[in-house]
Amino acid sequence: MKASNSKPLRILGARVIDPASGRDERKGELCIVDGRFAERLSPAQAREAVTVKADGLVVAPGFVDLCCRLGEPGRSARETVRTGTLAAAAGGFTTMVAMPDSLPAADNVGTVQLLREICAREAAVRVLPAGTLTKGHEGEALAPLGSLRKAGVAAVTDTVSGVQNNEIMRRALEYAAMFGLVVLDHCQDSSMTEGAQMHEGAWSLRLGLRGWPRAAEEIVVSSDCALAALTRARIHLQHLSSGGSAEIVRQAKARGLPVTAEVSALHLLLTDASLAGYDTRLKLNPPLREERDRLALIAALVDGTLDAVSSDHSPCTATEKDCEFDQAPFGAASLETAFAAAHEAVVVDGHAPLPVLIKRLTCGPARVLGLEAGTLAAGAAADFTLLDPAAKWKPAAGGLLSKSGNDPLVGRTLHGRVRATYVDGRKVFGD
């Protein structure tokens, strides 16, 4: 990443929302000096400052994404660090945690270091690598967590493989806690999802596709909470899809367990009914579920049961998705449309005001991993985004920055758009 602007920067006229400090000013001013936020500019700084007039826009901290995939190393046909981080900037994200299911897997210092070197050259935003919890994310032998911690991983996870053995998961949690690592867990009992293609319900019956029951997620959410109580290790539950899962987390938090959780933007907006046309871009893991699940997830996000909204960006090539539904890989590209999807589902539909959603995109996920991000406070790195909540737009395949071809919201009218994104006070995206 390049150095920040040499001149001071001033954003004028925008609504300033910083949930970390409780700041919400209808017509505020944001000042940046040497790549960091400042309370005010000196008279000399004000004379040389670059001024951005942002009337009608909202300035918010840069979004923090706890779950995305960048393709490299090993899957550059789907995405590269360069294209993935440019897409992140277009979506308002300035910090992203990269999942370790690369080729080779990030279960060793060498792979983590390779990703860090690629990011140092190519990344448009901050990338924090995650390491695997077990070797090869196969759920059998623990990865060298101490070495991975020293190599700079932000967290550890076996991503969509998940650890299927509770004894191994217990030991992994204890081991991770020794090094102060948060364990991110994809909650799926694979014995219940063999061959499953979508949510088990009326639509799976209509479409003739094998169903994926809520229980396959809820069983693992329950066991993770039980193991958190046993080990007192920090565990973060990734991209929950079931209303029952949200209720389990709510109860766990009421008991004071060290558990946090997230939901993907697509699960806030869409349901399994969206699969009526067998659109493989909407074949997700976990799957889209029913309207009652969607509403329960929104309610859990609003009341703080769910701490974060993630992109769950899972890029695939258009060719990979252009096949029979049961042969297509899981995953959707979603970095560039995540804010608009969540904004439409939560704010436009009247479930919560904009500051609540911004909190779940900024300081909420930052606190999950203890990151110095997600705030506009003086002295913090000047990572921020300019939003246009009133904008209506249709993503077009040719206008997206991601290399992947599987954004399911292409062609759909969305409400709310990112207009510009800055990292260290330097513009990395702007239309």
Catalytic positions are 312
Among 414, 400, 399, CA closest to 332: 400
Identify whether 286 is preceded by a cis peptide bond (ω within 30 of 0): yes
Long-range contacts, 342-347 (Cβ 8 Å, 24+): 342/265, 342/268, 342/269, 342/309, 343/389, 343/415, 343/416, 344/269, 344/414, 344/415, 344/416, 345/265, 345/268, 345/269, 345/294, 345/298, 346/268, 346/298, 346/301, 346/302, 347/389, 347/416
DSSP code of 191? Answer: G
The number of helix segments (H) and strand segments (E) in the chain equals 14, 20
Residue closest to 340 by CA, chosen among 292, 376, 394, 383: 394
* CA dist list (Å): 129 to 152, 174, 350: 8, 21, 36
Q: Taking a C-beta distance cutoff of 8 angstroms, is the pair 252, 225 a contact?
A: yes
CA gap 219, 296 in Å, rounded: 18
Non-local (6+) Cβ contacts of 224 within 8 A are: 169, 185, 187, 235, 237, 259
Looking at 270-372, list the stretches that DSSP marks H as alpha helix, in order from N- to C-terminal side.
Answer: 291-302, 318-321, 338-342, 354-361, 363-369
Q: How far apart are CA 166 and CA 219, in angstroms?
A: 11
Query: Position of tokens 């400052």?
Result: 49
For the chain, the straight-line distance linking the first and the last C-alpha, in angstroms and rounded, comes to 20
Three-state secondary structure call for residue 185: strand
DSSP 134: B
Burial 330-341 (b: 16+ CB within 10 A, else e): ebbbbbbbbbbb
Give the CA dihedral 405, 411, 416, 418, nearest 10 degrees: 40
User: One-letter amino acid identity for 163?
Assistant: V
Cα radius of gyration (the chain): 21
Helix (H) or strand (E) holding 420: strand 414-423
